[in-house]
Amino acid sequence: MTKTEKVIGTMTGLAFVAALGAYFLYGKRGARNRRKISGWMFRLKGEVLDRLENIQELSEGEYYRIVDEISSRYARLEKVGAEELKEMTEELKGSWERLNREMMRPGVRKVEGKKTSKGA
């Protein structure tokens, strides 16, 4: 990998992190999200985003696996409520469609989604 490719990859990752963070805070449910976000929620989202930065090709299954893996670690913490964690996990998983659309724009790394057939 050349130096230029590394720089482009890093910049793409940072743009991705910024877009996903903005979606969580300012998307259609952003006001509600901002009211209830606590420190552990930021850390959980940050860990998911950090893991996603290093992946060149991302499928829906891989994204869900990453979210589940990190969420399971937070489930063992005493200060994290089960209901809040469940909501956060569902929200992260629910953002796959938007994430997939964002990443399919030209100049952004490849993201693989589910193959669907459209009826004629």
Strand stretches in 7-89, DSSP E: none
**Element housing 54 (H / E):** none
pLDDT score of 76: 84
pLDDT score of 75: 86
pLDDT score of 120: 44
Residues 109, 56 contacting (CB under 8 angstroms): yes
Q: Is the pLDDT of residue 112 over 90?
A: no
How far out from the chain centre does Cα 100 lie?
10
Residues 110, 52 contacting (CB under 8 angstroms): no
Q: What is the pLDDT of residues 36-60, one digit of tens each?
A: 666 788 888 888 888 888 777 778 8
Residue at 85: amino acid letter = L
d(CA 72, CA 74): 5
d(CA 97, CA 114): 10
Residues 65, 89 contacting (CB under 8 angstroms): no
* pTM score, whole prediction: 0.57
Q: What is the pLDDT of residues 67-83, one digit of tens each?
A: 999 999 888 876 777 88
φ, ψ for residue 111, nearest 5 deg: -130, 125
